[in-house]
A = this chain, B = another copy of it.
């Protein structure tokens, strides 16, 4: 995980940061620079078309409660939003946009579009496509670098959600469907120390992947329940979950890791092979398995 970083790559990232902040920053000043301050623009944006609770805005924009209150007051004075107490909890206040507020937001939208257009306009169609593609790649990989993998309680809400999504997907993809009760180790409580470990991958707080490992004294550790959300596949999340589980196995003295999988999960099989797993003879009687793998831990 902590292989040494390339100085050249660091320099390129820094050049990128510089170029993007100055170029986009200068354009933003130019295009978004209206009478409205950045703070109140962001809040007006967040209030959006359907309204938001004040606390929600505060969390999303990470604003001080007093500061936000003042920003909302000034938007209210301008007739762009109205405030009302929430129906369910009268401590909470809800912000609703007025017609004028919606119009102002649409104007901000237009300015953002104009900013993006100003970036694209001088380029040829081919360059535009290349720029948009490169930007997508940057966004995707910045997201990937934001993913955190850490041990979690398999009984937690996030874990349950991931496992449910996992079972759903297997039911959809396995030719004969999937019933968790017929699979080995249906009881997720085994995946806690000292018998096992469960890890969750998170992106901006949201759980987007999971995996579990069982430790067998003097025998290979056994990986199960690996899953990654569709929306973030191909970002290396599976690899990182697997690495975390292998680390756990290593900590518990395992010399190797085994796992089995279904033939329909082709991306997973490719990922296991790429991670150094080699196919072995069946070592258990998991009914949903077609391939069994093992990897020696270095």
Q: Which of A20-28, A208-216, A259-267, A282-290 contacts B (4 or more CB under 8 A)?
A: A20-28
A selection of 18 A-B contacts at a CB cut-off of 8 Å is A5-B120, A5-B121, A6-B128, A10-B113, A10-B116, A13-B119, A16-B136, A17-B116, A19-B142, A20-B139, A23-B142, A23-B146, A118-B145, A122-B144, A123-B141, A123-B145, A131-B138, A134-B135
| Interface size class of chain A, counting residues whose CB lies under 8 Å from the partner chain | 35 or more
Name A's interface SS: helix
A112 to B20, CA, bound (A): 15
> Does A170 belong to the interface (CB within 8 Å)?
no
Number of copies: 2
Contact A132 B20 (CB under 8 A): no
> Does A48 belong to the interface (CB within 8 Å)?
no
Given contacts A14-B112, A24-B17, whether A122 and B138 have CB atoms under 8 Å apart is no
Whose C-beta in chain B lies nearest to the C-beta of A125?
B3
A66 to B286, CA, bound (A): 75
> Does A250 belong to the interface (CB within 8 Å)?
no
A113 to B124, CA, bound (A): 34
A166 to B136, CA, bound (A): 37
> Does A182 belong to the interface (CB within 8 Å)?
no
Contact A127 B141 (CB under 8 A): yes
